[in-house]
Amino acid sequence: MAEPRPRRLSAPYEGVRAYCLVVGMWVRSTMAYRTSFVMMALGNFVVTALDFAAILIMFSHIDTLGGFTLAEVAFLYGTTSTSFGLADLVLGNMDRLGRRVRDGTLDTLLVRPAPVLAQVAADRFALRRLGRISQGALLLVWSLVRLDIAWTPVKVLLVPVMLVSGALIFGAVFVAGAAFQFRANDASEVQNAFTYGGTTMLQYPPTVFATDLVRGVTFVIPLAFVNWLPALRILGRENPLGLPGWVDFASPAVALACCALAGLAWRSGLRGYRSTGS
């Protein structure tokens, strides 16, 4: 052999490294059009702010929404927006995979010595998505100031755990959706229904939705674990499905299970692509 075999590095490390390298390139590409970047970031911020303005308008006519006060709704809104924003920032462009499959440019990623998932995840990384996170985080802070919560160490810890678990759950949906695009080239709309649609739903209290829908997002697509279940515990609210109390702390486990499933889906999708080439 011509050269010694390179030290075998762990796949996650390689993936993160490749991801950061590619992200760096996209950030620099974005900076080639600085004005456009600033406009897009502002636009993103304004659009997400409008979402909340809609809720504000609603509250100018009513005092509570499904029994939740404005500050409580802001808490729900802030948590899901932050979680979703994180996932969207890191993985939001995975729905471009379908296009890469169609025009054959995925092949150029497959011949590089780096995990494909990392390269696809970093594809067209958009810094402007920080707009959504910052807006969500601002709202979260505002709601925490306004809310009158009897804080315990458990509740304090539950907030960051909830945000990270939520981001992982949304991330898993992004990856699973992308994996599906190996087979159905234009499945990105279905995925959007769960990601963008999901976060819009989670901005409102679960009590305004039909019980069947709440059941669906608890047991089928576990979006309820993003913020509803842990947030209800923090707000000291009843669980609308009457589930046992430990469920409120199950978000990290659910998130890990989602990631594992998404990983399997990705592997199977990639294997399918490599045996059919389309």
Q: Residue numbers of the site for other proteins (CB under 8 A)?
A: 1-2, 5-6, 18, 21-22, 25, 28-29, 32-33, 103-105, 107-108, 110-115, 271, 274-278
- The minimum distance between CB 93 and other proteins, in angstroms, equals 15
CB closer to other proteins out of 35 and 276:
276
Contact present, 201 and 209 (Cβ < 8 Å): yes
Q: Reduced to 3 states, what is the DSSP secondary structure of residue 63? A: coil
Query: Facing residues of 68 across strands?
Result: 65
Q: How far is the CB of 192 from other proteins (least distance, A)?
A: 25
- Which amino acid is located at 211 in the chain? T
Strand, coil or helix: 65? strand
The dihedrals phi and psi of 68, each to the nearest 5 degrees, come to -105, 140
Kindly tell me which of 186 and 219 has the beta carbon lying closer to other proteins. Answer: 186
- Closer Cβ to other proteins, 28 or 61, answer by number: 28
Strand partners, 65: 68
Yes or no: say if 81 and 199 are a contact pair by the CB < 8 Å rule.
Answer: yes
Which C-beta is closer to other proteins: that of 104 or that of 197?
104
Cα→Cα distances 223→65, 170, 176, 180, 271, Å = 20, 8, 14, 19, 28
Between CA 147 and CA 235 the distance in angstroms is: 9
DSSP calls for 209-264: S-HHHHHIIIIIS-GGGTTHHHHHHHHTPPPTT---GGGGG-HHHHHHHHHHHHHH
Burial class (CB in 10 A: 0-12, 13-18, 19+), 71: middle
Q: Report in angstroms how near the CB of residue 8 gets to other proteins at its nearest.
A: 9
The single residue listed with the structure tokens 């279905």 is 190
Our CB check for other proteins shows the closer of 29 and 152 to be 29
> Would you say 86 and 169 are in contact if contact means Cβ atoms under 8 Å apart?
no
Instruction: Pick between residue 4 and residue 245 the one whose CB is nearest to other proteins.
Output: 4
Nearer to other proteins, 34 or 61 (CB): 34
